[in-house]
Amino acid sequence: MLYQIYENQRSLIEPFSDFAQMTAKLFANPLSPLGQVPMAQRIAAAYDLVHRLGKDYEKPEFGVRHVDIEGQHVAIDERIEIDKPFCELRRFKRFSDHPATLTRLKTQPVVLIVAPLSGHYATLLRDTVRTMLREHKVYITDWKNARMVPLSEGDFHLDDYVNYVQEFIRHLQQKYGNCHVISVCQPTVPVLAGVSLMASRGELAPLSMTMMGGPIDARKSPTSVNNLAAQRSFEWFENNVIYRVPTNFPGAGRRVYPGFLQHTGFIAMNPDRHASSHYDYFRDLIKGDNESAEAHRQFYDEYNAVLDMDAHYYLETINTVFQEFKLMHGTWDVRNEQGQPERVRPQDICNTGLLTVEGELDDISGCGQTRAAHDLCTGIADPEQRHYEVPGAGHYGIFSGRRWREQVYPIVRAFIVEHEPTSAAAQEAARKGAAELDDGDSDETVPSKVTATTITDANTAAPRRRTARKPGTGE
């Protein structure tokens, strides 16, 4: 019922929001008669703010059209590689007509970025993608809004998330030989589970895992997010935040955790900060500071765009990650694609590098929660494990913005380079495989050597290069 009430309210407000946008333009235009009235700029700013507070925010585009690589303009073609009912594996394929650049692109590491399914769209990682594209072949999980998925596609569980991740890793391994995995926030848990299951079965595991700001052990440095999940019972969440999708969407009747409730929670965490930000936007419009006003629009176009999550996935995540801590207790069983339960055993991972990244001021995943992955992955040799805490960074700062580009990315890049196959045979095989699989002017320098001296070892030992693995053996 609440979802239907929200939709009715949104439909009612929409024409007023459109009217406010039109009125703002009339008062802001100096050639309009309304633009000549006293305080026209202030009135225009007020209407513009009303429009932005009342408008409906759709899923943004990634909008990564090109990147500059060593002075060369490289075009980006965004395409869907695998289309699953609840997720798309999206590729950012790079094109260049510069022979030397093309040669470098073909030999660069392959990276799967696993985006969060926790309210926002994968486009929240736009800056992560854009930065990684300079020196990597990049794929990302683009999760779908559950209200747009028909009931005929079935339910989506946390186990399905884990199975999706494994399927995408296998796809990249089949195409390129192997890959690196980066998980940001919520997916650190299912990614660790997926790689653990692959290792337990004796499958080829990814070359490296980079886990950033995720709740591996939500008991450490608990935040308001953790406290809410711990203080409320499973039944409370099921009875108070789960609703059925209204009839005007393809997923009508599906039980979901609505995006608008998640967004309300985001705002409630820092209401003063958001109120101040909107007031600053109003003042920027009055002053004619278009650059600051546009920065505000870009941020909130992303921040206010939210998606619904299937109720099964949401409730199982609350129970598994934030209430029973099954990963830490070693009691988590995941049903595979055949429906058979398999125990998650991170200690079975032995041929995959592990880098964890945390923000010093993270108020979503507190310090120590991500680093806990090292306590679980006891099968990984000490030299293959690293941890980095980003000074002065909040949650978003570890994967977006200046701190991400200047402090975190160089460390992530160095770790990936360190865990690339280094033998001449492996490099030649990678070049031949890329040439056969990529068409003409396509994707994918040998990456420049980057030191990892700023990385704090999770335990003690120094960085070590690894040799090429034999396919299928994990060596």
Task: Tell me the pLDDT band of 297, cut-offs 50, 70 and 90.
Answer: very high
Burial class (CB within 10 angstroms; exposed 0-12, middle 13-18, buried 19+) of 392: exposed
Same domain as 286, residue 416: no
- Provide the residue range defining the domain that includes 276: 2-56+259-305
Domain membership flag for residue 225: yes
Same domain as 269, residue 213: no
Same domain as 140, residue 13: no
Task: Tell me the pLDDT band of 475, cut-offs 50, 70 and 90.
Answer: very low
Residue type, 442: S
How many Å apart are CA 118 and CA 103, to the nearest integer?
38
- Residue 293 has, within 13 A of its CA and on its CB side, a CA count of 13
Helices marked H in 55-144: 99-106, 126-132
Asked if 75 and 96 touch (Cβ cutoff 8 Å), the reply is yes
Domain membership flag for residue 245: no
> Who has greater pLDDT, 131 or 466?
131
Domain membership flag for residue 250: no
pLDDT above 60: residue 463: no
Task: Tell me the pLDDT band of 436, cut-offs 50, 70 and 90.
Answer: very low
The pLDDT > 90 percentage for the chain reads: 72
The predicted pLDDT at position 172 comes to 97
Same domain as 130, residue 72: yes
Domain membership flag for residue 363: yes
Residue type, 278: H
Closest CA to 92 of 117, 123, 118: 123
Last residue of a domain, one of 305, 338, 362: 305
Same domain as 407, residue 327: yes
Domain membership flag for residue 52: yes
Same domain as 122, residue 31: no
Domain membership flag for residue 18: yes
Same domain as 404, residue 327: yes
- Residue 445 has, within 13 A of its CA and on its CB side, a CA count of 11
Closest CA to 42 of 286, 287, 276, 278: 286
Domain membership flag for residue 228: yes
The pLDDT > 70 percentage for the chain reads: 89
Backbone angles phi, psi at 207, to 5 degrees: -65, -40
Same domain as 397, residue 333: yes
Same domain as 184, residue 136: yes
The predicted pLDDT at position 268 comes to 81
Poorest-pLDDT segment among 71-75, 206-210, 402-406 = 71-75
Closest CA to 383 of 446, 322, 461, 445: 461
CATH of residue 383's domain is: 3.40.50.1820
> Each residue of 312-324: pLDDT tens digit?
999 999 999 999 9
How many domains are there within the chain? Answer: 2
Strand (E) or helix (H) holding 274: helix 271-287
pLDDT above 60: residue 426: no
Same domain as 429, residue 325: yes
The predicted pLDDT at position 147 comes to 96
Same domain as 345, residue 207: yes
Asked if 206 and 216 touch (Cβ cutoff 8 Å), the reply is no
Which residues touch 291 (CB under 8 Å, ≥6 apart)?
A: none
Domain membership flag for residue 248: no
Same domain as 314, residue 292: no
